A and B are shown apart, each in its own frame.
Chain A
Amino acid sequence: MNLRRDVFQAIADPTRRAILLLVASQSLTAGAIAANFDTARPTVSKHLQILTECELLQQQQSGREIHYHINAKKMKEVADFIEPFRQMWDDRFNKLESVMKNYKNQNKH
C-alpha cells in the first residue's frame, strides 16, 4: 500500500482536516475529539484510525487513556509539497471571483 497517497486521501476529507486542526492545538482522547462533531462516534473512530495509519496522528498512552497528538513532521511534509500550490490557485480564484463580481455590478447599469 502506498503510504504517501494515503496521506493525500486522508487530508482530502473535511472531517479529517477538522480533526487535525483540533488536535493541532492540544492532544486529546478519542472521546474528546468525538464530542466536537455531530458525526457518530464509530465514524470519528474510523477517521482517527485512518489518520493514525498514515502517521498524521500518533497515539500516546497516558494511564488508562489514549491521547492523540499530531505528527508535526509528517504534517509539514504534506504541507510543503502541495499546500503552496493549492494556496496559489486559491488566491487566483479568489481574485477571479472578486473581479467578476465587480464586472457583474458594472454591467448591470
Chain B
Amino acid sequence: MELKTKVNAEEGKHDLVITREFDLPLELLFKAFTEPELIEQWMGTKVIKFEGKKFGGWQFETSDPKGNVVFKADGVIHEFSPNKRIARTFEMAGVPFGVQLEVSEFEAITSETSRLNMHVIFESVAQRDEQLKLPFKQGINWAHNRLEEIMSKFKQATT
C-alpha cells in the first residue's frame, strides 16, 4: 500500500519535504497553485491577494461561519517559474512559528500525471516540530471541513 502524499521530516532538522504524485497534467497542477479561485477551492481559504510573479505578494484569510478570522497567512514570492518552481515565504499570523521558506517544484511524470515536491524550511527545529504537531492538536482541520462543504454544494449544483 503506497501512500500518495509523503512527508519526510528527519529528527533534529529544521526542514521537511512533502511529495505527492497527481493524476493531473503538469499545467493543471501548477494552475491549482496559482489561480486564486482554484486555490480557494482546495485550500478552503479566502485569497485576499495573489501576485504570481517575482516580488509579488500573497495573502490568505479564513473566517468561521460567524465571520471571525481564524487563519491568516501571508508572504512574498521570490521565484515564479510557470510549470516549474515557486519559491515563497510563508508566515502565519498569531502563532509563534516564525517565517518559513517554501520551495515548490512541479514536474511532469507523463502527459497526464505530475509530481509536486515541496521543501519547507523553518527558522528552528522547535518551530518545525510545533508546526508538525499543529494538525494533531487541532483535530480535524477547519479548512478541510469548509472545503468539504464547498465541494458538497458544488456537487449538488452540478447534479
| Chain A contacts to B: CB under 8 angstroms | 2, 4-5, 8, 12, 14, 17-18, 21, 80-82, 84-104
Contact = CB atoms under 8 A, between A and B. Distances in A.
B32 A88 contact: no
B12 interface: yes
A100 B24 contact: yes
A82 B42 contact: no
Contacts of A5: 10-12
Q: Which among A5, A12, A85 has the greatest number of chain B C-beta atoms within 10 A?
A: A85
User: Which size bracket describes the interface of B in this complex?
Assistant: 35 or more
A16 B112 CA distance: 29
B8 A8 contact: yes
B2 A88 contact: no
B5 A89 contact: yes
Interface stretch (B46-54, B56-64, B132-140): B132-140
B26 to A, nearest CB: 11
B9 A14 contact: no
B147 interface: yes
B11 A99 contact: no
B110 interface: no
Interface string B119-147: 00000000000011111100001011001
B6 interface: yes
Interface of B: 1-12, 18, 20, 22-24, 28-29, 31-32, 38, 41-44, 116, 131-136, 141, 143-144, 147, 151, 154, 158
Contacts of A94: 4
Contacts of A80: 136
Given A82-B7, A100-B31, A88 B12 contact: no
Contacts of B43: 92
A21 B42 contact: no
Contact of A93 (B20, B41, B136, B141): B20
Contact of B12 (A2, A82, A93, A104): A2
B149 to A, nearest CB: 12
B141 to A, nearest CB: 5
B34 to A, nearest CB: 12
A88 B11 contact: no
